A and B are shown apart, each in its own frame.
Chain A
Amino acid sequence: MKWIHLATPLDEEAVRPLRAGDAVLFSGALYVARDRAHERLRGMIDNGEGLPFDPRGQVIYFMGPSPAPPGRAIGSAGPTTSYRMDPFTGTMCAAGIKGFIGKGKRSAEARAVMMEGGAVYFSSFGGAGAYLARRIVSSEVLAFAELGPEAVYRIEVVEFPAILINDIYGGDLYENELSKRR
């Protein structure tokens, strides 16, 4: 595999050369949020409140980890299915988010708002939670601790792998692969 190294946060220059199907390795901080956290983050933006982190250029990882056993940075930590976060994607892109990591298909609307916002969507390796945990060196709860696995976390990753599904030019790896068989 040919891997492209990406350091977070991302800027336009990092995103522009990426194409659907590219394999990337992230290093730096990722911000973890799933269903309930997205609902709350959008509420904060709608009410004009500051977010728990500066979203500009950042990458959101759709994930809810298992509890960290003693002595570990995190428990299992693979991606959750992304379409459930589609309704929040427009707000997140408007706030400056440049990338999303999850698994599975996005809606046409979510893909359109990502293209408009110059943001890209990656799938990591769904169900490989133990494998991916080894690429995460630290984790801290940033907000909504009461939501347990649905809290917002900031994690530090080293060479965290993902495949680009949606680039900023409308390319979609899932559709490309299916169309080869038609």
Chain B
Amino acid sequence: MAPKRPVSVDLIGRTVSELVGRASFGMPSGVVELYAAMREREKSETARHALGVLVENADIAAADRLPLCQDCGVAIVFCDIGQDVSLEGDHLHDAVDAGVRDAYQRLYLRKSVVGDPLVRKNTGTNTPCFLHTEIVPGDRIGITVYLKGGGSENMSFLKMFRPTATTEDIIDHIEACVIEAGPNPCPPLFLGVGIGGTADVALVNAKRAVLRGIGSRHANPSYADLERRILERLNATGVGPLGFGGASTAAAVYIKEAPTHIATLPVALNLNCHSLRYAEAVL
């Protein structure tokens, strides 16, 4: 058996710190251009102005070195660890937390994590982060840092459909949820849809889905078509940018599907705000 490739957990921590910085001050490439294009399609003056503000906000965040949003989010970290890697050092979660703590302190990011959900005392470090690890083939480690604000997280939805529900039922449900959420999650949305799995898997898939890449198409043409139909329906609701009315309710729809039980059809929705913040690295 070939020897495992050693990777230091401290390096993973330092990488996480750098990724938090990258995600906090600028959106993935293509997002600003998307808003500029959506702005051209809007007829209402308020909608056009709102999209213009989002573009200007990204410029100012970079120029003034201020985070895109004052809600610098919780840090959700996906580590896809190759099974031919040997992790060297202390516990992985501690190292990742150290990276998050360092970034939030060093970069003047807002600390928004309370240690106990009922006692609600701020930990002052934005840790612990939410770490999802997966063991994958190979000898590399894929790290994605995804920052999610509380306002859009509060507009999350999970519905357990009957297995006989149609895609039209699912589209109707998604439309109703996005109208109900209205301005609250700061549209235009990047909508992640987790379909199938168990309830928990669908929710994590809805998170992972929005990280697929700006302008990417679903590999399965029928899901790609479903994404397009959902996007069209959402942009006909009238919610508009920041809920001020208009045709730019969603910027993109990303589905991540999973096998499921014969009795179940979970559909989980992640209504990510217009401030899509994630960054990736491979070690």
Contacts and interface: CB of A to CB of B under 8 A. Distances in A.
Given A75-B67, A76-B67, A173-B244, A125 B237 contact: no
A28 interface: no
Interface in A50-102: 63-69, 72, 75-78, 80-81, 83
Given A1-B46, A65-B110, A104-B151, A129 B54 contact: no
Given A66-B109, A103-B183, A125-B53, A130 B66 contact: yes
B173 interface: no
A108 interface: no
Contacts of B242: 103, 123, 125-127
Contacts of B133: none
B276 to A, nearest CB: 10
B112 to A, nearest CB: 7
Given A123-B183, A174-B183, A181-B238, A66 B65 contact: no
A177 B243 CA distance: 8
Contacts of A69: 65-66, 108
Given A163-B244, A177-B240, A126 B186 contact: yes
Contact of A125 (B50, B67, B124, B236): B50
A23 interface: yes
A105 interface: yes
Interface string B35-52: 000000000011001100
B142 interface: no
B69 interface: yes
Say which size band chain A's interface belongs to: 35 or more
Given A75-B70, A131-B57, A103 B46 contact: no
Interface residues of B, number: 49
A66 B70 contact: yes
Given A1-B46, A64-B110, A76-B66, A105 B57 contact: no
Interface string A105-139: 10000000000000000010111111101100000
Nearest to B112: A149
A127 B238 contact: no
Interface of A: 1, 21, 23, 36, 63-69, 72, 75-78, 80-81, 83, 103-105, 123, 125-131, 133-134, 147-150, 161, 163, 173-174, 176-178, 180-181
13 contacts: A23-B49, A65-B70, A104-B151, A105-B184, A125-B50, A126-B242, A127-B54, A127-B57, A127-B69, A130-B67, A147-B122, A174-B182, A177-B244
Interface of B: 45-46, 49-50, 53-54, 56-57, 60-61, 64-72, 108-112, 120, 122, 124, 149-151, 154, 179, 182-184, 186, 236-240, 242-246, 273-275
